Structure 1
Amino acid sequence: MKKENEKYDKPLNSSMAANEKEIVNLGKQMENLRTNEELEKDGEEPDPQQDEKKN
């Protein structure tokens, strides 16, 4: 018996984007992301895990 969500367990192309259109859209979103400095200037707190430097 197959699991109900089995078709969602592994993407067909093993990537996060399903097609080229989605890749282009994700790229545009990434271009518009604000930097940590911009977030702090607006009074918001950046994600600390993304801001930590690895030693």
Structure 2
Amino acid sequence: MSQESKKKKEELEEKNGSMARDLKEVKELGKQMERHRTNEELQEEGKDPDPIQYDEEE
């Protein structure tokens, strides 16, 4: 594998499924979560929330 393909692979791995790398990134993710609307807020705006991902009875 060439150096260029190794570098591209490393860059993809960093962006995909990785945890926050530092405190700055953790704080930014926290801000994003604070702005995230709840299902109830979306329904009040006439939008459909995310579908249920599981059945509570199971």
* TM > 0.5: yes
SS at match of 2:42: helix
In the alignment, does 2:23 pair up with 1:20?
yes
Q: Which runs of 4+ in 1 moved over 6 A?
A: none
Identical columns (%): 44
The structure whose Rg is larger is 2
* Superimposed CA distance per residue, residues 9-36 of structure 1 (whole angstroms, 9 cap, x where no aligned partner): 433xx83323210110101111221110
Report which of the two has the higher share of helix. Answer: 2
Q: When the two structures are aligned, how many residues end up with a matched partner?
A: 52
TM-score normalised by L of structure 1: 0.64
Unaligned runs of 5+ in 1: none
- 5+ residue gaps in structure 2? none
Larger mean CA deviation between 2-11 and 34-43 belongs to 2-11
Q: Match of 1:10?
A: 13
